[in-house]
Structure 1
Amino acid sequence: MRRKSPFRRMMAVVLVIVFAFVGFNFGKMFFGDNAESRLTEVTNIIVAGVDVDGYRTDLILFVQVNNIDKKVSVLQIPRDTKVNNKRNDKKINSAYFSGIETLKKEVESVTGLHADFFATITFDAFKEIVDALGGVTVEVPIDMNYHDPIQGLSIELKAGKQKLDGEHAMMFMRFRKNDDGTGYPMGDLDRNKAQKEFYSAVMKKALSPIGILKAPFLYSAVMKNTTTDLNNAEVRELMFDMFTIGKNNVNIYQLPGDSKYISNISYFVVSEREAKAMISENFR
């Protein structure tokens, strides 16, 4: 059998990408809902991963889709970030219990960034997205062995570079400590670093030719497991913006600060000066 030349293989891939973009944009224009888009050239969204009890956010991301500079900037906000509020619980991950507006307000208080929209996503979405992509390869930094029968949570991962399916990716994302109390040496700082590598791996694969072809499945996984004030047409428009911007212009940042014990409670305390400089340089 005659083998295809590298050039022909490359052209085949290019054609697949072109048809995928055209098809996705066609669907966006003709099969979207009738709601008017409220998106602007710079759109800010709080994305929160909701804990199993629905009271706290296990992860918080501030996502800025910037169509002026053609980039996407993502800011990780540690769940233990200390905030000034009237609640007994001074950690930002408890803000969601008081409502999404409280979460928006507290995110703005530590970042200076105002969110236009929100999306709360369950961990089932992570599983479905990763499975739709055929798995994601990441470096598991330490052995992870944690069990919580009350939540029905079982995490068992060995350290090392490996391809994770959806179920094991969720374990990786949710891990905080082992049954014996050991865990990441630097606590939430290391946890956020590991999660950042996961986001980057997912983003890289989602914005690859394979990911573009999987766009309808990714859209379905997101919408089934998400509560948001974005309408369906806006979600599709944002997904298309992400594909257009491309993986090389997506940057993930971590809120600067340090882990500290205050009154015997572990917090992440934001470095206001460093945070202001980093946000000013990378966000509009």
Structure 2
Amino acid sequence: MSNSPDIVARSRKMAALAVLCVAVFAAAFIGIACLLSSDNAQSGHEAANAQLEIVSDPLYVLLIGSDSRKGTALYTGKANEHAQLDQHSDIMTLMRIDPETYTVTLVTVPRDTQLAGTSGKINDSLAGGDPNEVVKAVETLTGTSIDYYMMTTFTSFESLVDDLGGTVVDVPLKITTDDPSTGRDVTVKPGESQLLNGSQTLVLARARKEYVDDQDALRQVNVRNIEVAIIEKVMSDPNGADEALAYLEEHTSTNMDFGLAASLVAEFILHKSEVTIYTGTGPHKGSVNDDGLWVVPEDKEAWALIMETVDAGEDPSGIVPLPSFPVS
């Protein structure tokens, strides 16, 4: 593999357009890909000036990937089957956007994290279907006030990736698992710079049992790499800027005004050579608790250090060490 397990401290010179955000999640991920073509950058900036003067402080967006089976071939409606009636936020990426330093920072919130004094996991916060409850749980964990959320599901993520023309990403080893949309097995072959469609990208984002140790941590590495791949995909096609924004709006649910996103992008375009993207993860080491659940204990000291670093606009990637993929 030519890339390191996680893509960190990546500076992007955005020539023809700007991409602000990431794609996610997964039973798996997803994220934001907001952009404008360079031809429209100046006019977009002028139209957004008033709003940008107000939105000068850093803001946080929580990217949520739901594992809901509803609307898929895997849905049975049986209450005794996992994730049939309830859903979980199996992907949570906390994104900080700093309009003054043109820095975007992405931090994974491990789904198995168990908040102190609770019996379940943080991904249970989506069981009632309200993303605002996920926001509250992540705020409790990180001590950070989150301004917005953006959420996708299995089927909406697949559609988003397909509409964008697929992703190009490194695949660490052969993966075969079912595609929720069809119920049929899909195989993703190992190799560098693999072109994956929506179904294959979702398979990569969902897979974890293929890894012996650090299963979900390695899955989240793939998710972050997918997020970066989607950014690069959008950057490669400046003429498709308007369509990409429309796809994002169609395939996600959010409380964020797309006018705000567009105005931020316009400002980032004017400072494209200064844009920096950092990525990292929260604590992911866990064990089986007394109830037989695999959980990651809440680590207040680690999260305090992570968020202190993120709030300072610095690179958090070295705070929590990342595992390596097994040799295939």
TM-score by length of 2: 0.68
- After superposition, the Cα gap between the structure-2 partners of 1:25 and 1:103, relative to the gap in structure 1 and judged at 3 Å, is farther
Contact in 1 for aligned 2:69/2:180 (Cα 8 Å): no
1:4 alignment partner in structure 2: none
Aligned with residue 299 of structure 2, among 262, 271, 280:
271
Equivalent AA in structure 2 for residue 259 of structure 1: G
Contact in 2 for aligned 1:37/1:233 (Cα 8 Å): no
Shift of residue 245 of structure 1? 5.8
1:77 alignment partner in structure 2: 109
Write the distance in 1 (CA, Å) between the matches of 2:182 and 2:43. Answer: 43
Shift of residue 37 of structure 1? 10
| Cα offsets for 1:135-190 (capped at 9, x unmatched) | 3221211221223779836342122221212221122112233xxxx435311111
- After superposition, the Cα gap between the structure-2 partners of 1:26 and 1:159, relative to the gap in structure 1 and judged at 3 Å, is same
Answering whether residue 214 of structure 2 is matched by residue 186 of structure 1, we say yes
Write the distance in 2 (CA, Å) between the matches of 1:228 and 1:24. Answer: 24
Write the distance in 1 (CA, Å) between the matches of 2:146 and 2:135. Answer: 6
Shift of residue 280 of structure 1? 0.8
Range moving further from structure 2, 243-252 or 215-224? 243-252
Write the distance in 1 (CA, Å) between the matches of 2:184 and 2:296. Answer: 25
> Identity of counterpart residues, as a percentage?
19
Contact in 1 for aligned 2:99/2:264 (Cα 8 Å): no
Equivalent AA in structure 1 for residue 220 of structure 2: N
1:260 alignment partner in structure 2: 287
- After superposition, the Cα gap between the structure-2 partners of 1:281 and 1:36, relative to the gap in structure 1 and judged at 3 Å, is closer
Answering whether residue 250 of structure 2 is matched by residue 224 of structure 1, we say yes
Write the distance in 2 (CA, Å) between the matches of 1:25 and 1:184. Answer: 51
Answering whether residue 126 of structure 2 is matched by residue 96 of structure 1, we say yes
Q: Tell me the matched-pair count.
A: 260
| Cα offsets for 1:21-65 (capped at 9, x unmatched) | 2425536876x9xx9997442111111012233621121111111
DSSP-derived class of the 1:114 partner: coil
Contact in 2 for aligned 1:37/1:234 (Cα 8 Å): no
TM-score by length of 1: 0.77
1:117 alignment partner in structure 2: 148
Matches within 5 A, 1:1-284: 20-23=37-40, 26=43, 39-53=55-69, 55-84=87-116, 90-98=120-128, 99-147=130-178, 152=183, 154-161=185-192, 162-177=194-209, 182-183=210-211, 185-206=213-234, 208=235, 210-241=236-267, 243=269, 246=272, 249-263=276-290, 264-284=292-312
DSSP-derived class of the 1:258 partner: coil
Contact in 1 for aligned 2:131/2:151 (Cα 8 Å): no
- Gap regions ≥5 residues in structure 2: 1-13, 19-35, 71-86, 313-328
Larger Rg: 1
Contact in 2 for aligned 1:154/1:171 (Cα 8 Å): no
Write the distance in 2 (CA, Å) between the matches of 1:24 and 1:50. Answer: 34
Equivalent AA in structure 2 for residue 230 of structure 1: M
Contact in 2 for aligned 1:142/1:184 (Cα 8 Å): no
| Cα offsets for 1:201-245 (capped at 9, x unmatched) | 222333x3x243322121111101111112231232244455556
DSSP-derived class of the 1:58 partner: strand
Query: Which protein has greater RCO, CA pairs closer than 8 Å, 6+ apart?
Result: 2
- Gap regions ≥5 residues in structure 1: 1-12
Equivalent AA in structure 1 for residue 228 of structure 2: S
- After superposition, the Cα gap between the structure-2 partners of 1:233 and 1:105, relative to the gap in structure 1 and judged at 3 Å, is same
